[in-house]
Amino acid sequence: MLPSWSKDKVLKGGRAMSKQNPTLMRMTRAPFLSSILAPTLTGTLLSANLMGAFNIPGFILVLIMGVGLHVATNVYNDIYDTIQGTDKVNVHRNEFSGGSGVLLDHPDLMPKMYQLARSGLVVAGAAALCLLLFIDQRLWPLLALLFVLAAFFSKFYTAAPVKLASRGFGEVSVWFAFGPMAVLAAAIGQNVGLHETIYLLMPIHGLSTLSILLLGQLIDVEADTKAGKLGVASRLGTRATAWIYLFVQSAIILNVFVMFFGFPGKSWPVLISLVPYLYIFPKLPRIVLKNHANPDGLKPAAGLNVQLHLVFSFLMIAGLLIYMFE
C-alpha cells in the first residue's frame, strides 16, 4: 500500500514526489503477501490433517519459498510496468491497484529493485532446495516443476518477450499461481502431494486473488490499454469484466460448499469463511455494476473487496484449524 506523503516534497513533471526513500514494505507491496500466505496456511493445515502429522520444517520452507516468489512477482511487476509506461500514464493509482509507484518517484532505485526481485528468487530457490531434505523423493519432480513455473510467472507476467498480462494469459496465471500451485506446494511440504481432498481446496484462494486483479483492471483500464497491457477489461470491456468479477465471487461461494460436502468428517467449520459474504459482499455488486466504467467510483469497491479477501482468508484458516481438531 502507498504510505502517506511526506511533508518533504518536490515537484517533478507537475507531480508531487517524496524525497525520502520508500520503505521495504512499499517496495515489495508487503500488505498483499496475504495472497500467498492464505493458500500456504490452508494447504498446510488440510495436508497435515490428512497425514495426521505436522511437518514443521516443510511448512517453514514452503512459506519462505512462497513469500520469496511473491516478492519477486510484485517487484518485477513494478519494474516492467514502469519500463513499458503503464505506471506513467496511470492517473488512477491507489492503495489497491496500479502498483507501488516507487520507480516513478525514485527512478534511481531501479538497480535496487532488480536486486530485490532477484533476491526473492534466490531465497525461494534456496528454500526449495532445502525442502528436498524433508519430503519424500517421489515429490521432488513435482516440487521442481512448481518452482520453475512460479519463477517463470513471477518475471514474465509483465516482462518481454512473453508478457502474459498483455496476451490474455495474465488472469489464468494469477489464478493458477495463487490457487492450485500454492496449495499444492503446501501439500508437498507436508508429504501429501496430489490428493483428491487437496483438489477441492486448490481453486479458492486463486479465485479470491483474481477478484482483486479484476477490480484493479477496471480501475486501471485506461492506462493498461494505452500501454498495451491487455487484460480482460481492455479486451472485453468494463461491463463484461464487472460481470466476470461477480461470477468469480460466486465461484468462491460455490467452492466453499464443494469443500463442505467433499471433505471427510465434520466439515462444517469451513462454512465460517462465508461470514464476510453476508456482511461485506452484498455491498459490492451495486457499486461495481453502476461504476464499471468510472475508476474513481470503483475505488471504494476495491477497498471493500480487499477487506472481503482478507477476512475470508483469515476465516478459512480459522475454519480449517477447527476442522483439524473437530
What residues are paired with 16 via a beta bridge? 11
Q: pLDDT digit string (tens) for 111-165?
A: 898 998 999 999 999 999 999 999 999 999 999 999 999 999 998 888 888 888 8
Residue 296's domain comprises: 25-325
Residue 193 pLDDT level (bands cut at 50, 70, 90): confident
- As given in the structure block, the three cell numbers for residue 324 are 483439524
pLDDT in tens, 246-288: 999 999 999 999 999 999 989 999 999 999 999 999 999 999 9
pLDDT of residue 87: 57
Nearest by Cα to 244 from 207, 278, 281: 207
Domain presence at residue 16: no
Cα 42 off chain centre by: 15
Cβ atoms 187, 320 nearer than 8 A: no
Which residues, listed in sequence order, are joined to residue 310 by a DSSP beta bridge? none
The helix (H) or strand (E) run that includes residue 7 is: none
The pLDDT of residue 22: 76
- The helix or strand, by DSSP H or E, that contains position 18, with its residue range, turns out to be strand 15-18
Is 254 domain-assigned? yes
Residue 5 lies in a domain: no
Beta bridge partners of 15: 12
Q: Is the distance from CB of 267 to CB of 279 less than 8 angstroms? A: no
CA separation for the pair 290, 284 (Å, rounded): 10
The answer to the question of residue 61 being in a domain is yes
Residue among 251, 255, 264 nearest 201 (CA): 255
Instruction: Look up cell 467452492; give the residue.
Output: 255
State the pLDDT at residue 176: 92
| Longest Cα–Cα distance in the chain | 62
Q: How far apart are CA 240 and CA 255, in angstroms?
A: 22
Rounded Cα distance between 263 and 271, Å, is 12
Q: What is the pTM of this model?
A: 0.86
Q: How far apart are CA 235 and CA 136, in angstroms?
A: 44
Cα–Cα distance list, 235 to 43, 136, 215, 249, 316 (Å): 34, 44, 15, 21, 33
For residue 19, being part of any structural domain is answered with no
Domain assignment present for 169: yes
Task: Flag whether 6 is in a domain.
Answer: no
pLDDT: which is higher, 98 or 39: 39
Q: Are 287 and 297 in contact (CB under 8 A)?
A: yes
pLDDT at residue number 11: 39
DSSP 69-82: HHHHHHHHHHHHHH
User: In this structure, are residues 75 and 113 in contact, taking their beta carbons and an 8 Å threshold?
Assistant: yes
Total domains in the chain come to 1
How far is it, in rounded angstroms, from Cα 281 to Cα 80? 33
* Beta bridge pairs of residue 225: none
Task: Decide which of 38 and 222 is more confident.
Answer: 38
| Closest to 229 in 3D by CA, of 164, 313, 172 | 164
Give kind and range of the element (H or E) at residue 5.
none
Please check whether residue 179 lies inside any domain of the structure: yes
